[in-house]
Amino acid sequence: MNLILLAAQDLLDDHCAVVRDPRRLRHLREVHRANVGDELTLGVVGGKLGRGRLTQLDADEARFEVDRLDQSPPPPLPVHLVLALPRPRMLARSLEHVTALGVKQITLLHTRRVEKSYWQSPELRPEKIHQHLVLGLEQARDTVLPEVNLATRFKPFVEDRLPGLLEHRRGLLAHPGMRDACPRGIDEPTLLVIGPEGGFIPYEVERLLEAGCHGIHLGGRILRVETAVTALLSRLF
Amino acid sequence: MNLILLAAQDLLDDHCAVVRDPRRLRHLREVHRANVGDELTLGVVGGKLGRGRLTQLDADEARFEVDRLDQSPPPPLPVHLVLALPRPRMLARSLEHVTALGVKQITLLHTRRVEKSYWQSPELRPEKIHQHLVLGLEQARDTVLPEVNLATRFKPFVEDRLPGLLEHRRGLLAHPGMRDACPRGIDEPTLLVIGPEGGFIPYEVERLLEAGCHGIHLGGRILRVETAVTALLSRLF
């Protein structure tokens, strides 16, 4: 938690913020070992960042005197990430990684090799997803929550939604065995599609290429989804 | 487990391999759902890869008829990674990530902000480290185990060992706030130094720069160690 991320209702007025949830209070005490008088980085969800002085810390709440919230969050990555739904624990970590890296649009996609039971996981409940996004923002000192969409059927996504998404974005399909290596340091709006453990099936690869995605690979090594996602984003942008 | 990694003693002769440990037997049954007759990818620690046909699978062992082990493992990354010792769970995952990515030399370093208790963790026992390296190799279909060294004191490492390591390597110190951005797509022998959660202290940064490391950063976002390691390696190589 490199940032105390405040919801609008945590700001009592322009100069006073209050934190009451047990997770953050515990983190302030146990990790920051914060004392009254300490200065910490604060930010408002969707807004600016700045510094605040801890004026009170007890079992039920922490209060901050807010100095000035005038710094912009770090720039986002120009990418819409389409990720085959990973298994629940991997999903949790991947959401944190990609949020910390600056992804702002995430679509979780069903594909043939995604186990159907994953869609029933409690990790997909909006409040759980929100929790992981917040952890990613707190880590990276960012305030802008990503949007997460669920695409529970492959074909309707590729036929009905993908063409619109690709109108103003370069489409990249990361898949082992594609001809071209992942490009480096591109700076244009991109849609990046990443398959599940075990990969896309050939039918899915064909549909995604037909829809206008360009196939890329990361070399001969097979990586876990969470490693591959970070490696791809870091190399691309 | 995209590869059945065989120790020398698992090869009964040139044509027959046997696997007896419960972890791999369970993986074969539950994840691969392997049946007698299936072809799987095999490789020998430190050696070549090839295919093998499962000829027997019961509670105690799996036997493979080995076709030919004639493929080379994927090329290693030209990097010696010096990583401030992460907390135990992060260490386990980081070892798997970097092994899968192709790192072959790893030094785990003590720094001021590494909690001393981490050095007592069971995760640092040679057999536990070995386990995580094997998981990384199995993931990436590699056979060459990384070497892992422990440097439990910062000053002796920097004064006595670092100069020799930097004789034929470009030294890079990844640290927030350094002037230059992390370079992309370099291809030369490199030593990459990465700090702990919370970073190096200024004294440590000075010593590392003095020793000949060049300071680089990954942008304004603060990343978890495991995310940063993957992001740096993927951008550099």
- The alpha-helical segments, DSSP class H, found in A66-147 are 88-101, 126-140
Percent of chain A past pLDDT 70, that is, above it, reads 100
Is B74's CB within 8 Å of A227's CB? no
When pLDDT is cut at 50, 70 and 90, the band that residue A31 belongs to is confident
Q: Which whole number is the average pLDDT over B89-116?
A: 97
Q: Measuring CA to CA, which residue among B65, B77, B17, B64 is closest to residue B45?
A: B17
A92 and A185 in contact (C-beta within 8 Å)? no
pLDDT value of residue A127: 96
Interface of A with B in 154-213 (CB under 8 A): 184-185
Q: Is the pLDDT of residue B41 over 90?
A: yes
Chain A: nearest CA to B97, how far in angstroms?
Answer: 7
Give CA separation, B158 vs B117, B210, B220, in Å: 22, 10, 27
The two structure tokens encoding residue A3? 């940032």
CATH number at residue A105: 3.40.1280.10
Q: Which residues of A touch B231 (CB under 8 A)?
A: 101, 230-231, 233-234
Predicted ipTM? 0.94
Q: Is the pLDDT of residue A194 over 90?
A: yes
Choose the closest CB to A102 out of B2, B141, B221: B221
Q: Is the pLDDT of residue A20 over 90?
A: yes
Closest-CA residue of chain B to A90: B93
Is B231's CB within 8 Å of A234's CB? yes
When pLDDT is cut at 50, 70 and 90, the band that residue A32 belongs to is confident
Beta bridge partners of residue A41, listed in sequence order: A51
Is B141's CB within 8 Å of A100's CB? no
Q: Cα(B41)–Cα(B65) distance, rounded to whole angstroms?
A: 12
Q: Which whole number is the average pLDDT over B208-227?
A: 95
Of A44, A71, A98, the residue at which a domain comes to its end is A71
Q: Is the pLDDT of residue B67 over 90?
A: no
pLDDT in tens, B162-204: 999 999 999 999 999 999 999 999 999 999 999 998 899 999 9
When pLDDT is cut at 50, 70 and 90, the band that residue A85 belongs to is very high
Give CA separation, B202 vs A150, B178, B184, in Å: 45, 12, 26
Question: Quick one: DSSP state of residue B193?
Answer: E
- A64 and A114 in a single domain? The answer is no
pLDDT value of residue B232: 98
When pLDDT is cut at 50, 70 and 90, the band that residue A13 belongs to is confident
Please list, residue by residue across A32-46, b when 16 or more beta carbons sit within 10 angstroms of its beta carbon and e when fewer do.
bebeeeeebbbbbee
Chain A: nearest CA to B103, how far in angstroms?
Answer: 12
pLDDT value of residue B14: 82
The two structure tokens encoding residue B22? 């419960």
pLDDT value of residue A183: 97
- A94 and A39 in a single domain? The answer is no
How many A/B residue pairs have CB atoms within 8 Å? 79
Closest-CA residue of chain A to B185: A184
3-state SS, residue A1: coil
Give every strand in the sheet of A11-13, ordered side by side: A4-6, A39-44, A49-57, A62-71, A16-19, A11-13
Q: Which whole number is the average pLDDT over B60-71?
A: 93
Is A230's CB within 8 Å of B233's CB? no
Phi/psi-derived region of residue B192, left when phi > 0, alpha when psi is between -120 and 50, beta in every other case? beta
When pLDDT is cut at 50, 70 and 90, the band that residue A14 belongs to is confident
Q: Is the Cβ of B16 closer than 8 Å to some Cβ of chain A?
A: no
Q: Which whole number is the average pLDDT over B75-94?
A: 96
- B103 and B190 in a single domain? The answer is yes
- A107 and A192 in a single domain? The answer is yes
pLDDT in tens, A128-150: 999 999 999 999 999 999 999 99
Q: Is the pLDDT of residue A67 over 90?
A: no
Q: Which residues of A touch B100 (CB under 8 A)?
A: 221-224, 227
Q: Which residues of A touch B27 (CB under 8 A)?
A: none
- B62 and B110 in a single domain? The answer is no
Closest-CA residue of chain B to A142: B221
Q: Which residues of A touch B102 (CB under 8 A)?
A: 221
> CA angle B7-B234-B1, nearest 5°?
30
Of B54, B71, B88, the residue at which a domain comes to its end is B71
Chain A: nearest CA to B95, how far in angstroms?
Answer: 12
pLDDT in tens, A214-226: 999 999 899 999 9
Q: Which residues of B touch A224 (CB under 8 A)?
A: 96-97, 100, 139
Is A2's CB within 8 Å of B222's CB? yes
Instruction: Provide the domain limits for residue B221.
Output: 79-236
Q: Which whole number is the average pLDDT over A193-221?
A: 96
Beta bridge partners of residue B149, listed in sequence order: B107
A189 and A170 in contact (C-beta within 8 Å)? yes
pLDDT value of residue B137: 97
Which of A30, A95, A221 is most worth mutating to test chain B (most B CB atoms within 10 A of its CB)? A221
Is A141's CB within 8 Å of B221's CB? yes
Q: Measuring CA to CA, which residue among B61, B85, B102, B53 is closest to residue B195?
A: B85
CATH number at residue B14: 2.40.240.20
Is A74's CB within 8 Å of B233's CB? no
Q: What total number of domains does chain B contain?
A: 2
3-state SS, residue A193: strand
- A158 and A208 in a single domain? The answer is yes
Chain B: nearest CA to A31, how far in angstroms?
Answer: 11
- A113 and A61 in a single domain? The answer is no
When pLDDT is cut at 50, 70 and 90, the band that residue B209 belongs to is very high
- B226 and B118 in a single domain? The answer is yes
- B88 and B195 in a single domain? The answer is yes
Give every strand in the sheet of A190-194, ordered side by side: A147-151, A105-109, A79-84, A190-194, A170-174, A214-217, A180-181
**Residue A132: CB partners within 8 Å, gap ≥ 6?**
A92, A95, A96, A99
Percent of chain B past pLDDT 90, that is, above it, reads 92
Is B140's CB within 8 Å of A234's CB? no
The two structure tokens encoding residue A141? 């000192």
When pLDDT is cut at 50, 70 and 90, the band that residue B31 belongs to is confident
Q: Is the pLDDT of residue B214 over 90?
A: yes
Q: Measuring CA to CA, which residue among B186, B197, B203, B226 is closest to residue B216?
A: B186
Q: Is the pLDDT of residue A1 over 90?
A: no
Which of A5, A137, A144, A234 is most worth mutating to test chain B (most B CB atoms within 10 A of its CB)? A234
Closest-CA residue of chain A to B141: A221
Give every strand in the sheet of B214-217, ordered side by side: B147-151, B105-109, B79-84, B190-194, B170-174, B214-217, B180-181
- A122 and A155 in a single domain? The answer is yes
HSE of A107 in the Cβ direction (CA atoms, 13 Å)? 21
Of B50, B71, B92, the residue at which a domain comes to its end is B71
- B159 and B201 in a single domain? The answer is yes
Q: Which whole number is the average pLDDT over B119-140?
A: 96
- A38 and A153 in a single domain? The answer is no
Q: Cα(A7)–Cα(A173) distance, rounded to whole angstroms?
A: 36
Q: Which residues of A touch B1 (CB under 8 A)?
A: none
Choose the closest CB to A224 out of B139, B141, B233: B139
pLDDT value of residue A68: 86
Q: Which residues of B touch A96 (CB under 8 A)?
A: 224
